[in-house]
């Protein structure tokens, strides 16, 4: 996994609550058996005027000029500012894959859906929860200031605005450690293989029906 | 005296180790696998040269891409490759799979319980958010992403943190024509789609105890639409009666030992919950969603709400956007909304009881002339066979429904079953998001009998008028 330490990134605001994973990456793109290449289809139904299909040449499609991601001032954005319950709906990891592939490295919102939040950490994308009034203020500041950037420091757990205002955020210690170091969680877990095997042996005695397939 | 909630019992029984910050390694008993969220996980395993930890924990099937008409061939090459990749991975790793064409194939959340592969006291995961369904069996069941699928394949564990707990108490008796689906929508309407975020929900109370296993699965299935990764119901006689004799369930002396343990899988008297929500079952009516989030829901005899009455600006804008997308006017009676298509199916409502309930409304009636397509998609090959043995297929077909083969189908339209732009559907599925059933699609979530009533009248109708 990619490490995340600090980021100074252009901010793009997506001003809707309950943005679901179907909106982030529509189902037709879930047919891919790869992990990459989803960026051009991020927010596909909002971003283009036609209905996208997998393996299509997206450069020939008509963009929806009203959608925020298509506005010139937000090109190259690395921080996505969002509203409540961002990433609700399905467990598809294609959602953070699409954000990452597009170039988004961090998300700021008042709340995220649980599975999506979790999936972000597995892909080096940092989801940051800030209080609703702070997020509200950021939406206003982004709208008023073209080129608006945020400085994010994972180690210090701060989001700093161009005016120097700093907002602390919380993150689980273990997730932070993995993200700062870009660690492979499976490799870490396998260091505890003996404990897993010992646990398994205990369960096989107390609940033998868990082990073995159909009778 | 340490009183534990059902969630805490399940959690404690599966902790392998715990980090100082509370991150725990949780052992996974059952891993359900389907074609959409697994190919990248198997690929990851191969690239790292890691073996599968425990083959016999896995049950696999193809469901999202499977055609519901001709099940011998998938026309779309991209879909076909995804399904054949699953078949190949299962072959390579010698995983039990119910492939297309197998009569046990179906929606992963229907076949797990149907096979007895989902058992009380288990941790159950699947790369699919509706894995919460399996909590109906007092299992700790949750949806995971593809990286976590790979983590479980390689280590049989998951890194997780203990959730907060929420008890949803539904007391009293449900009225005729009111189903588990209406209870689920009522709860989501009450707490909102983020109401359960960070929580594991236990559904309890006399109305829940009165539900069949099918009803409990419908309810737990939609826990994720309330934001909760897991939903669950305690073990009782209904649970045990459902499981006894199923292929993957224990038999003989092991069954007796299992039952003795399973009987302890309920919240203790005085167990603490971080939040308790109470609903009166007798006040729940048949419900219909009007917007693009499951919390945008009202009674069948209600009206489309007016955003102007909503004080919160973000919510008001969300309602306005939803009404524009859905092409509905504030104040319009729900029963005035005409529909183009009907979908009875999905991991929420495609079990035998759902099909019986819908057939009871449809029997002797015809699909309305304005309804272009009415689909019944059973949840599995075995559900389909059971329904046909009861003659339900004939009831649907005589009324003008299409009787299809099992799969996720029009719930999300990864196969050919989709709505065209602007089409409006009475759907027994779980999500009414923009574009969910096809680009520009308009979804109204309802129970199976409400979908059946809408099919025969051509617009939303109070199913209670059909049942009296």
The pTM is what?
0.97
B319: part of which helix (H) or strand (E)? helix B313-326
**Beta-carbon separation of B40 and A45 below 8 A:** no
Interface mutation target, options A18, A49, A177, A191, chain B, most CBs of B under 10 Å: A18
- Determine contact, residues A82/A107, Cβ cutoff 8 Å: yes
Nearest to B29 among A27, A175, A210 (CB): A210
Nearest to B229 among A84, A114, A192 (CB): A114
DSSP label of B268: P
pLDDT of residue B72: 80
User: Two tokens at A196?
Assistant: 């897993």
Mean pLDDT of A86-97: 97
DSSP label of B420: P
**Beta-carbon separation of B27 and A196 below 8 A:** yes
Q: What are phi and psi of B139, to 5 degrees?
A: -105, 155
Chain B hits for A196, Cβ within 8 Å: 16, 25, 27, 53, 155-157
- Alpha-carbon span B221 to B351, nearest angstrom: 13
For B153, the 3-state DSSP assignment is helix
Q: How confident is the model at residue A3 (pLDDT cuts 50, 70, 90)?
A: very high
- Determine contact, residues A42/A96, Cβ cutoff 8 Å: no
- Alpha-carbon span B225 to A112, nearest angstrom: 13
**Beta-carbon separation of A119 and B412 below 8 A:** no
**Beta-carbon separation of A91 and B127 below 8 A:** yes
pLDDT of residue B1: 55
**Beta-carbon separation of A114 and B198 below 8 A:** yes
**Beta-carbon separation of A114 and B37 below 8 A:** no
Chain A hits for B19, Cβ within 8 Å: 173-174
pLDDT of residue B132: 98
Question: Which are the contacts of A202, defined by CB distance < 8 A and separation ≥ 6?
Answer: none
- Helix residue ranges per DSSP H, B115-250: 146-155, 180-191, 206-209, 213-221, 237-243
For A13, the 3-state DSSP assignment is strand
Measure in Å the smallest separation between the Cα of A60 and chain B Cα atoms. 19
User: Two tokens at A17?
Assistant: 């609550």
Side by side, the strands of the sheet bearing A158-160 are A126-129, A106-109, A79-81, A6-13, A149-153, A158-160, A166-168
Nearest to A45 among B251, B318, B434 (CB): B434
Q: Is B309 exposed, middle or buried (0-12, 13-18, 19+ CB in 10 A)?
A: exposed
Please say if the pLDDT value at position A212 is more than 90: no
Chain A hits for B228, Cβ within 8 Å: 114
pLDDT of residue A213: 63
Per-residue model confidence as pLDDT tens for chain B (468 residues): 589 999 999 999 999 999 888 999 999 999 999 999 999 999 999 999 999 999 999 999 999 999 999 878 899 999 999 999 999 999 999 999 999 999 999 999 999 999 999 999 999 999 999 999 999 999 999 999 999 999 999 999 999 999 999 999 999 999 999 999 999 999 999 999 999 999 999 999 999 999 999 999 999 999 999 999 999 999 999 999 999 999 999 999 999 999 999 999 999 999 999 999 999 999 999 999 999 999 999 999 999 999 999 999 989 999 999 999 999 999 999 999 999 999 999 999 999 999 999 999 999 999 999 999 999 999 999 999 999 999 999 999 999 999 999 999 999 999 999 999 999 999 999 999 999 999 999 999 999 999 999 999 999 999 999 997
pLDDT of residue A169: 98
Residue range B318-343, pLDDT digits in tens: 999 999 999 999 999 999 999 999 99
**Beta-carbon separation of B151 and A118 below 8 A:** no
- Determine contact, residues A128/A108, Cβ cutoff 8 Å: yes
- Alpha-carbon span B280 to B171, nearest angstrom: 5
Torsion from C-alpha of B270, B272, B273, B276, nearest 10 degrees: 40
């Amino acid at each position: 996994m990619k490490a995340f330490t600090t980021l100074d990134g252009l901010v793009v605001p997506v001003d809707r609550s309950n943005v679901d994973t179907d909106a982030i990456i529509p189902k037709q793109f879930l047919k891919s058996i790869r992990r990459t290449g989803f960026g051009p289809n991020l927010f596909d139904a909002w971003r283009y005027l036609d209905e996208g299909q997998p393996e299509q040449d997206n450069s020939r499609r008509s963009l929806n000029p009203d959608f925020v991601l298509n506005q010139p001032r937000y090109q190259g954005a690395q921080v996505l500012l969002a509203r409540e319950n961002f990433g609700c709906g399905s467990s598809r990891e294609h959602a953070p894959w699409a954000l990452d592939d597009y170039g988004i490295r961090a998300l700021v919102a008042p709340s995220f859906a649980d599975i999506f939040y979790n999936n972000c950490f597995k892909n080096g994308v940092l989801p940051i929860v800030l209080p609703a009034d702070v997020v509200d203020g950021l939406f206003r500041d982004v709208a008023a200031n073209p080129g608006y950037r945020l400085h994010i420091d994972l180690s210090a757990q701060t989001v700093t605005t161009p005016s120097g205002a700093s907002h602390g955020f919380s993150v689980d210690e273990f997730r932070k450690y993995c993200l700062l170091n870009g660690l492979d969680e499976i490799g870490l877990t396998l260091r505890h293989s003996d404990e897993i095997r010992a646990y398994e042996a205990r369960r096989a005695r107390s609940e033998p029906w868990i082990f073995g397939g159909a009778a | 005296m340490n009183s534990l909630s059902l969630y805490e019992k399940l959690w404690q029984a599966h902790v392998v180790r715990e980090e100082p910050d509370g991150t725990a390694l949780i052992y996974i008993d059952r891993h359900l696998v389907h074609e959409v969220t697994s190919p990248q996980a198997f690929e990851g395993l191969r690239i790292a040269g890691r073996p599968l930890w425990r083959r016999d924990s896995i049950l696999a099937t193809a469901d999202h891409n499977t055609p519901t008409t001709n099940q011998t061939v998938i026309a779309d090459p991209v879909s076909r490759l995804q399904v054949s990749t699953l078949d190949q991975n299962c072959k390579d790793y010698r995983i039990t799979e119910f492939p297309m064409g197998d009569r046990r194939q179906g929606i992963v959340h229907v076949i797990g319980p149907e096979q007895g592969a989902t058992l009380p006291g288990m941790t159950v995961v699947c790369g699919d958010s509706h894995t919460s369904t399996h909590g109906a069996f007092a299992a700790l069941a949750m949806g995971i992403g593809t990286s976590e699928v790979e983590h479980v394949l390689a280590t049989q564990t998951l890194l997780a943190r203990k959730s907060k707990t929420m008890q949803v108490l539904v007391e009293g008796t449900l009225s005729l024509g009111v189903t588990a689906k209406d209870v689920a929508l009522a709860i989501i309407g009450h707490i909102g789609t983020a109401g359960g975020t960070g929580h594991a929900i236990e559904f309890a109370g006399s109305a829940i105890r009165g539900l069949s296993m099918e009803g409990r699965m419908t309810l737990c299935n939609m826990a994720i639409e309330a934001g909760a990764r897991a939903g669950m119901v305690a073990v009782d006689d209904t649970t045990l009666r459902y499981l006894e004799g199923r292929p993957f369930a224990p038999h003989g002396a092991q069954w007796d030992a299992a039952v003795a343990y399973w009987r302890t899988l309920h919240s203790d008297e005085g167990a603490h919950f971080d939040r308790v929500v109470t609903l009166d079952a007798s006040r729940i009516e048949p419900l219909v969603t009007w917007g693009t989030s499951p919390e945008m829901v009202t009674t069948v005899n209600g009206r489309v709400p007016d955003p102007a009455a909503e004080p919160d600006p973000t919510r008001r804008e969300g309602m306005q956007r939803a009404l524009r997308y859905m092409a509905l006017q504030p104040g319009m009676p729900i029963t005035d909304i005409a529909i183009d298509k009907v979908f009875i199916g999905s991991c929420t409502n495609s079990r035998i009881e759902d099909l019986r309930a819908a057939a009871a409304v449809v029997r002797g009636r015809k699909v309305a002339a304005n309804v272009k397509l009415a689909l019944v998609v059973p949840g599995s090959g075995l559900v389909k066979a059971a329904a046909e043995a009861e003659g339900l297929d004939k009831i649907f077909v005589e009324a003008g429904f299409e009787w299809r083969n099992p799969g996720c189908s029009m719930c999300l339209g990864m196969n050919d079953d989709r709505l065209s732009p602007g089409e409006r559907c009475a759907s027994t599925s779980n999500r009414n998001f923009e574009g969910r059933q096809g680009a520009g699609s308009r979804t109204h979530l309802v129970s199976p009998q409400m979908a059946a009533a809408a099919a025969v009248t051509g617009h939303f109708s109070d199913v209670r008028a059909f049942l009296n």
